[in-house]
Amino acid sequence: MSEVKRMKYCVGGEWLESKTDKYMAVTDSSTGEVIAEVPCCTAEECEAAIAAADAAFPAWSRMSMAKRVQYLFKWRDILYAHKEELSILCAKELGKTLNEARGDVQKAIEPTEEACAAPMLIEGDGALQVTTGYDTTTYRVPLGVCAGIVPMNFPAMIPWGWMVPLAIVCGNTVVLKANSQTPLTSMRMLELFYEEGGFPKGVVNLVTTDRTKAEIFMTDPRVKAVTFVGTTDVGKHIYSVAAAHGKRVQAQCEAKNHALVLEDCNLEATVNAVINSTYGCAGMRCMALPVVVVQESIADKFVALLKEKAMALKIDCAYKEETKLGPVSSAGHKKKICDWIQKGIDEGAELVLDGRDIKVPGYENGFFVGPTILDHVTPEMTVGNREIFGPVTCIKRVKDYDEGIAVMNANPFANGSCIFTSSGYYSRKFVMDTDGGMVGVNVGIPVPSAYYPFSGNKDSFFGDLHVLGKDGIRFFTRAKTVTTHWFDEEAAKREVRTWEGSTEQ
């Protein structure tokens, strides 16, 4: 059994022992072994992280944009140099396969590259002579301390792709609340951030704690913005509390993405896309594809081929190169997924493929759930409408496009949606009709590149400005509009100001 390492928290660039008497276990998802313990930081330690970020803000925000960008260029190269190390760590603590973990780290690198283009993205509106002798321009200026509340499923991409790069290049400082189940990748990245990146102390700080103590990030006046990824119930709470305290909020929440499969699709290519979308990352991503709405005329063929390909997936230890489906994140999460499968059976769905009793030789204590298919899922079944966050496919059968789009849009979540068809008419109609914020046409995971916003809708997002793209720049900055007038002594004597601020001569 490997040694259990007790982790620290980071304030002002220093790693400190917590005064807490409560530590939380981090497991190797493939073996079930506890590999580390992280502190449930005290309220005082969370406050100290905010204070450190607040103290670092004046100097960091006054640093020239050009110099901040140079830090980000260097940081991007550091991430590439340590990509394999970080990927293995991610695979161990979360359960992603090595290729999926490499993708997680790559998705932290891409927003860093976007941040390197900040001088072109953050420039304000051009100056304009609005009236004789008067010039007006708008600047984008940093907010201050920004808090990032991190989920368990993307320990590299979400904190170090969605939350840190754009925030700091805009001149803000950050406090991360790392997820207690999967904090090790993020902690290692913060070590590299200071040790090799040479960033000023306090620009990014990190704690692990529980929800009660994390409430300070929503109420402390020094925190100006909160960015969150997690469940809808928690996202609604964070949005309402933080907004009530005058903060900006991005709350990326749950999803139940649907695909509409029409009879004119390329069946083989469609099933391959569904396999990748549904079972990749063991279904633990908000852009997974857990529901397939299939036209009845091809439903039997589709389900048979889906089962065949799902059964062929190699289920094994996450950090073996050949593995195609790794474990889920924890014993508790495995139980939740299995309970949902049983719920679907109890509601009347047909169990086509059952992944609940998967045992991997040599890794019998790992948190494995195999591919699962539930067919004939009807609109009233909760299994087809609530987020399961596991390798479970729900099949909903419909007679035609109109019934299919109605079924999809009835769902309260609208993160992503996609259609598989050869019809240009239906593909364009779908793009216009769907409620999904990220839309795919013959694309199973329509996640845009970092240069575009991650644009969920309905109960999948609460806020006004999404992560990444130009939305991300606007979220982490505020507008400052400046009007300038230079005049000589004679002009000053003639000037008469009205209460509106205009000038009559």
For residues 48 and 109, membership in a common domain is answered with yes
Helix (H) or strand (E) holding 308: helix 296-311
Any idea of the CA torsion for 316, 320, 321, 322, to the nearest 10 degrees? -30
What CATH code is carried by the domain that includes residue 351? 3.40.309.10
CB-based contact 456:252 (threshold 8 Å): yes
Give per-residue pLDDT as tens, 260-306: 999 999 999 999 999 999 999 999 999 999 999 999 999 999 999 99
Question: Would you say residue 487 lies in a domain?
Answer: no
Exposed, middle or buried: residue 271 (CB in 10 Å: 0-12, 13-18, 19+)?
buried
Is the pLDDT reported for residue 189 higher than 90?
Answer: yes
Greater confidence (296 vs 131) lies with 296
Instruction: Give residue 129's pLDDT.
Output: 82
Is the pLDDT reported for residue 501 higher than 70?
Answer: no
Question: Would you say residue 362 lies in a domain?
Answer: yes
Question: Would you say residue 296 lies in a domain?
Answer: yes
Q: Facing residues of 353 across strands?
A: 373
Give per-residue pLDDT as tens, 28-56: 999 999 999 999 999 999 999 999 999 99
Distance CA 322, CA 338 (A): 25
Question: Would you say residue 452 lies in a domain?
Answer: no
For residues 89 and 217, membership in a common domain is answered with yes
Q: Which of 410, 441, 472 is the last residue of a domain?
A: 441
Give per-residue pLDDT as tens, 201-215: 999 999 999 999 999
Q: Catalogue the long-range contacts made by 296-304 (C-beta closer than 8 Å, 24 or more residues apart).
A: 296/397, 296/398, 296/399, 297/263, 298/261, 298/263, 298/265, 298/267, 299/395, 299/397, 301/267, 302/261, 302/267, 302/270, 302/271, 302/395, 303/352, 303/373, 303/375, 303/395
What residues contact 270, with CB distance under 8 A and at least 6 apart? 261, 302, 420, 442
Question: Would you say residue 450 lies in a domain?
Answer: no
Greater confidence (458 vs 131) lies with 458
- Token duo for residue 398: 């419909």
**Residue (of 241, 205, 212) closest to 226 by Cα position:** 241
Tally Cβ neighbours within 10 Å of residue 307.
17
Instruction: Read off the amino acid at residue 471.
Output: D
Confidence of residue 499 (pLDDT cuts 50, 70, 90): very low
- 3-state SS assignment for residue 406: helix
Taking the chain, what is the end-to-end CA distance rounded to the nearest angstrom? 85
> Which ranges of 349-415 would DSSP assign to H, the alpha helix?
401-409
For residues 161 and 262, membership in a common domain is answered with no
Distance CA 16, CA 206 (A): 11
Mean pLDDT of 95-116: 97
Mean pLDDT of 380-407: 98
For residues 298 and 362, membership in a common domain is answered with yes
> Which ranges of 174-256 would DSSP assign to H, the alpha helix?
184-195, 211-214, 216-219, 232-244
Instruction: Give residue 141's pLDDT.
Output: 95
Active site residues per annotation: 286
Q: Which of 409, 441, 473 is the last residue of a domain?
A: 441
What CATH code is carried by the domain that includes residue 64? 3.40.605.10
For residues 359 and 477, membership in a common domain is answered with no
For residues 231 and 278, membership in a common domain is answered with no
For residues 310 and 406, membership in a common domain is answered with yes
For residues 286 and 156, membership in a common domain is answered with no
Greater confidence (493 vs 502) lies with 493
Helix (H) or strand (E) holding 394: strand 392-398
What residues contact 436, with CB distance under 8 A and at least 6 apart? 257, 258, 408, 414, 415, 416, 417, 418, 446, 457
Task: Return the HEC string of 120-158.
Answer: HHCCCCCCEEEECCEEEEEEEEECCEEEEECCCCCCCHH
Residues in the chain: 505
Mean pLDDT of 365-373: 98
Is the pLDDT reported for residue 10 higher than 80?
Answer: yes
* 56-65, 392-401, 411-420, 447-456, range with the lowest pLDDT: 447-456
* 113-117, 256-260, 486-490, range with the lowest pLDDT: 486-490
Model confidence, pTM: 0.94
Q: Structurally, how many domains does the chain consist of?
A: 2
Give per-residue pLDDT as tens, 449-482: 998 999 999 999 999 999 999 999 999 999 999 9
Distance CA 473, CA 248 (A): 13
Distance CA 188, CA 194 (A): 10
CB-based contact 166:137 (threshold 8 Å): no
Instruction: Give residue 428's pLDDT.
Output: 98
Question: Would you say residue 315 lies in a domain?
Answer: yes
For residues 436 and 474, membership in a common domain is answered with no
For residues 144 and 176, membership in a common domain is answered with yes
Instruction: Give residue 490's pLDDT.
Output: 67
Confidence of residue 2 (pLDDT cuts 50, 70, 90): low
- Token duo for residue 210: 């529980």
Question: Would you say residue 504 lies in a domain?
Answer: no
In order, the DSSP letters of 3-54 are PPEEP-EEETTEEE----S-EEEEE-TTT--EEEEEE---HHHHHHHHHHHH
Residue 112 dihedral angles phi and psi, to the nearest 5°? -65, -40
Mean pLDDT of 87-113: 98
Do strands 350-353 and 128-131 pair parallel, antiparallel, or not at all (unpaired)? Answer: unpaired
What residues contact 141, with CB distance under 8 A and at least 6 apart? 61, 171, 477, 478, 479, 480
Distance CA 50, CA 145 (A): 7
Greater confidence (28 vs 498) lies with 28
Is the pLDDT reported for residue 498 higher than 60?
Answer: no
In order, the DSSP letters of 438-493 are EEEES-SS-PPPTTS-B--EETTEEESS-BSHHHHHHHTEEEEEEEEE---HHHHH
Instruction: Give residue 128's pLDDT.
Output: 81
Give per-residue pLDDT as tens, 344-357: 999 999 999 999 99
Instruction: Give residue 496's pLDDT.
Output: 55
- Token duo for residue 137: 């321009």
For residues 138 and 268, membership in a common domain is answered with no
Question: Would you say residue 175 lies in a domain?
Answer: yes
**Residue (of 425, 354, 359, 424) closest to 390 by Cα position:** 354
For residues 238 and 319, membership in a common domain is answered with no
Q: Which domain holds residue 382?
A: 258-441
